Structure 1
């Protein structure tokens, strides 16, 4: 979504930054790994196709795409809060700090009993860097993303509706969250269970389990208040954006 093109999301354990062009080459190298291709049900793309994909995703009104980066010192070593992150500088969002990606997709509600304008949100998380697996990075990234979605809900839905007006869409309401996880990915299933997601039905034709959480249950989760208190947004962009922001 264009919504997340000018902001990063930071907690004490993770930094989420918009997927920009300078991230593509490393992302592309990750996706040549057969293990990651299998885990994400992805087909290998050429580097040119990956750049095209990046531009498409960043401009889509039904997708949020963040690169998961190593956490940063948000207080600049005690000198004050970071007021702005300029892309691809200070090594905060560089390729050397990339760990994986986390995404959010909006889909029309297709289950029985749905109403016009109802949506469901799909979450997708990948920790590609082996050194950062099993350290809580995936959980921290998903929690930061979900706080962002809840806080920015009005803007997310407004952008979606505006993009669908030609199709006669006049309103939208997010009703549930879900994730699809491969049968053998036990770690991811346990991660989402700890976050409050529950399995719906049996595995599908592709060997995936669907785990679901009603949106009304999100802020009732035991981890919510801590995640919300540990979460900030930091403006992000080019030098031109920074000058406008600090004027």
Structure 2
């Protein structure tokens, strides 16, 4: 989606930047991990396929993505590649009950073990929720998570998502968060607590 191609979101722990071609080699290196592919339900791609996927994320109107940077490393190096720790994505589909609006399926990946447990995923996801709500007509967020991914299940429940479906054959849990005035007030409070700045590049 071209919506965010000139956008940078700055938090205390993370910086979110658009997914560019220069990020692809490191991202491809991450996704050579069978564990990561399993956790994210991703297929193994060749490097050229990964570049094509990056272009799809940039151009398709039903996809929104940011690369997650460690804010401290980025401040020290001004090097996005060195600071990369993961990504966050939204897949959009029309809401059946409100066709002019969308349901956004949310994903977060912190790729390396040394970057986990530091609050990067939580802050990145809060920034993504806030940005998406401000710029897209959404009715709810959704997350589909492997049943064994305890950390992700706990994370999304901390965002006040509730379990709505469990599919044993896919080993997958679906959680949803309807966007209400009360939840948006909670989200604003959370973003103020975690993010110093929230702005366009």
Normalising to structure 1: TM-score of the pair?
0.74
Equivalent residue runs for 1:33-182 within 5 Å: 33-72=33-72, 91-110=77-96, 114-151=97-134, 153=135, 156=136, 173-182=137-146
Distance 1:61 1:118 in 2: 13
Equivalent residue runs for 1:205-216 within 5 Å: 205-216=169-180
Q: Give the 3-state SS of the residue equivalent to 1:200 in structure 2.
A: strand
Please identify which structure carries the higher strand content: 2
How far apart are residue 91 of structure 1 and its match? 3.8
Moved over 3 A (4+): 90-93, 233-236
Distance 1:203 1:140 in 2: 28
How far apart are residue 38 of structure 1 and its match? 0.4
Q: How many residues align?
A: 199
Relative to structure 1, the CA distance from residue 231 to residue 180 in structure 2 (aligned partners, 3 Å threshold; closer, same or farther) is: farther
What is the Cα-based RMSD across aligned positions, in Å?
2.1
Relative to structure 1, the CA distance from residue 63 to residue 92 in structure 2 (aligned partners, 3 Å threshold; closer, same or farther) is: farther
Counterpart selection for 1:191 from 145, 155, 174: 155
Normalising to structure 2: TM-score of the pair?
0.90
Q: Which runs of 5+ in 1 are unaligned?
A: 77-89, 157-172, 237-247
Distance 1:48 1:56 in 2: 13
Contact 1:200 1:211 in 2 (8 A): yes
Q: Which deviations, in whole Å up to 9, do the C-alpha atoms of 1:185-234 show, x marking residues without a partner?
A: 0111111111110100223531110010001153143x531414635344
